[in-house]
Structure 1
Amino acid sequence: MDPATMTSLITALAFVLVLVVLIIKTAVVVPQKSHFVIERLGKYSKTIGAGLHILIPFIDKIAYKRSLKEEVMDVPAQTCITRDNVSVTIDGVLYIRVVDAMMSSYGIENYYIAASQLAQTSLRSAIGKIDLDKTFEERETINASVVQAVDEAAQEWGVKVMRYEIKDITPPSTVMNAMEQQMKAEREKRAEIALSEGDRQSRINRSEGIRQESVLVSEGEKQKRINEAEGRAREITLVAEATAEGIRRVAEAVTLPGGDEAMRLKVAQQYIEEFGRLAKTNNTMIIPADMADMGGMVAAATEIIKNTSRRCQGKGQGPAVPAE
């Protein structure tokens, strides 16, 4: 290859190389959710967003690249002292997001370190205002306090604090043992209360069952007595009605022809039968003084029946019709 051809080839390669460098320096592609800070001759020029951008070679340069995505920062564990002078070790995480690429580049040297340090100091301040037992109960309040303190300062950095979360709270071992004993005593207390409540409810249920049973038994006994009383009353009524009807029929029969003699015979017969039954028993028997005057007794009984018959007729009851 002659020297002229070699020179032309080198010149062409140099031109291509310069062209490639110019393209690299001129065309810039910014990813989604990112901002690039451009400086021109060492001075802030502009902030470019996602897409293709053309810069002036050797004059414009990309000074800072900032992601607009939410970032997670691990806040180192630290020892904090509560209001009741108990040392606890606490660590957490901080969620931040760049909202202004220019301010985050020129407003502070390193917003990561600044946000982490400020979160630690804010956490110590919040823990110092509450007692140990409240640190476990008021995590949300502590988190909100840290977020508010860091976010107020981060506004000058073009950074937005999204949230802060406590990961672990570790008290000293002596305090842990005391807390475990306290929780054990509290669990035993709740179990004892639950057991006593169950026993009390069981006794209430048993007494209520006994009371209801007594009420039902008394109601049944009451109804039984009412039924028996009604039955006895009904029985007495029926016996009285039957007796009255028998007397009325006997009285009517006496007024019929031959009824007087039949009645005397019936009374005498019953008189003799009753004395005969009394004679068969071992009981003491009282007899009339004049046993010979049996006819007088029969006559007296017959007279009583006749008088009853006349009273019945006087009340509107006519004599019975003699049977054919």
Structure 2
Amino acid sequence: MGQFILIPLIFFGLIILASSFFMVKQQTAAIIERFGRFNSIRHSGLQMKIPLIDRVAGRLSLKIQQLDVIVETKTLDDVFVKLKVSVQYKVVTEKVYDAFYKLDYPHEQITSYVFDVVRAEVPKMKLDDVFVKKDDIAVAVKSELNDAMMDYGFDIIRTLVTDIDPDPQVKIAMNRINAADREKTAAQYEGDAQRILIVEKAKAEAESKRLQGQGIADQRREIARGLEESVDVLNRVGINSQEASALIVVTQHYDTLQAIGSETNSNLILLPNSPQAGSQMLNDMVASFTASNQIGEAMKDAKKKKDSNKGANNE
């Protein structure tokens, strides 16, 4: 009979002993209450409590935690936009009591402050400024949260605006504007390139014309020098300048005919091109030069006579 009573007592005693010990994980704080009243805070390791009197009321993580809050608001230029704000926070080790007893739902409290700050800051900005000044929004949220949540035992480590999502129609319009700007820039670059090509081509053509003109001038200079030497040679054998010039012209005429004949694809016809025509050309040119000289001499004599009469009248 006594054995039957002893066994349950031993079993009950083991249960009581086992419930006297509990484990607290690393970076965790356990809150101990005695008869429903706060007793102590226990940290990582094997801990002991009085069975049936003390109880673990709750545990708080001391790690850095993150809460993502999505806020929809309107900008200064009346564009609805959604902002995703990531709040990184942790429980202050020295304020575990405040974090556990002063605030029931810290996530809801943090979310409310994020909504309040974002909806106060974003309506002051245009949509483009929201993208540019997102760090300013994050700083404003962190400042507001630090002032409010530190009294509850929470330290705000960092706030980040991780996403800015405008209305879909606005995004389409923004993409069209960006595409148009890029096309405009591309057209400007293409126009500049085309203008450079035209200018360089004009410069090249001008240089080509200049060199071509210089070449023609040099060619004519050499031709004139050759004609001068030819006339000198002909003068030495008793042929006067008019006859020498006519002879050179006729010679060039026949050289041209020979060159044309060697070109199978040439359509040029030089008239006259018969032997009698060449002889007639030579005679005509000599007669022309002679007549020209005679007219020149007559004009000189008339001018001298006029000047002589004019001098006599003055005397």
TM-score (norm 1): 0.58
User: Superposed, which structure 2 residues align to 1:228-307 within 5 Å?
Assistant: 229=221, 283=283
Deviations 1:186-244 (A, max 9, x none): 5335424422431342132122123124214423543664577479769978998x99x
| Aligned counterpart for 2:18 among listed residues 14, 23, 26 | 23
Structure 2 unaligned runs (5+)? 240-278, 288-315
Corresponding position: 1:124 with 2:119? yes
SS for the counterpart of 2:103 is coil
Structure 1 or 2, whichever has the larger Rg, is 1
Does the 8 Å contact 1:93/1:167 carry over to 2? no
Q: C-alpha separation between the residues in 2 aligned to 1:69 and 1:29?
A: 17
- Could you list the per-position Cα deviations for residues 76-104 of structure 1 after superposition, in whole angstroms to 9, with x for gaps in the alignment? x5553434555555554433222333331
Tell me if 1:212 matches 2:204: yes
What CA distance in whole angstroms lies between the structure 2 residues aligned with 1:94 and 1:225? Answer: 85
Q: State yes or no: 1:98 paired with 2:91.
A: yes
Counterpart of 1:199 (choices 175, 191, 194) is 191
CA distance in structure 1 between the aligned counterparts of 2:210 and 2:79, rounded to whole angstroms:
68
Return closer, same or farther for 1:207/1:74 CA change in 2, 3 Å cut-off.
Answer: closer
8 Å Cα contact 1:126-1:146 kept in structure 2: no
Structure 1 residues 215-274: Cα deviation after superposition (integer angstroms, max 9, x where no partner): 14423543664577479769978998x99xxx9xxxxxxxxxxxxxxxxxx99xx9xxxx
- Matching of residue 63 in structure 1 with residue 57 in structure 2: yes
Identity %: 19
Partners of 1:92 and 1:168 within 8 A in 2: no
Report the CA distance shift for 1:128/1:158 in structure 2 as closer, same or farther (over 3 A). same
| CA 47–233 in structure 1, closer or farther in 2 if over 3 Å, else same | farther
Structure 1 residues 34 and 198 mapped into 2: Cα distance closer, same or farther (>3 Å)?
same
State the TM-score, normalizing by the size of structure 2.
Answer: 0.60
Q: What SS does structure 2 have at the residue aligned with 1:94? A: strand
Alignment partner, residue 37 of structure 1: 31
Question: Alpha carbon RMSD of aligned pairs, Å?
Answer: 4.1
Counterpart-to-counterpart distance in 1, 2:64 and 2:231: 107
Q: Which amino acid aligns with 1:99?
A: V
SS at match of 2:124: coil
In structure 2, give the amino acid aligned to 1:134.
D
Instruction: Report if the CA contact (8 A) 1:72-1:94 is conserved.
Output: yes
Aligned equivalents of 1:127, 1:185: Cα separation in 2: 23
Give the distance between the partners of 2:99 and 2:88, measured in 1 at CA: 16
Gaps (5+ residues) in structure 1? Answer: 248-265, 271-280, 287-324
Q: Distance in 1 between matches of 2:57 and 2:90?
A: 20
1:163 to 140, 147, 159: 159
Q: Which moved more, 1:138-147 or 1:114-123?
A: 138-147
Equivalences, count = 243
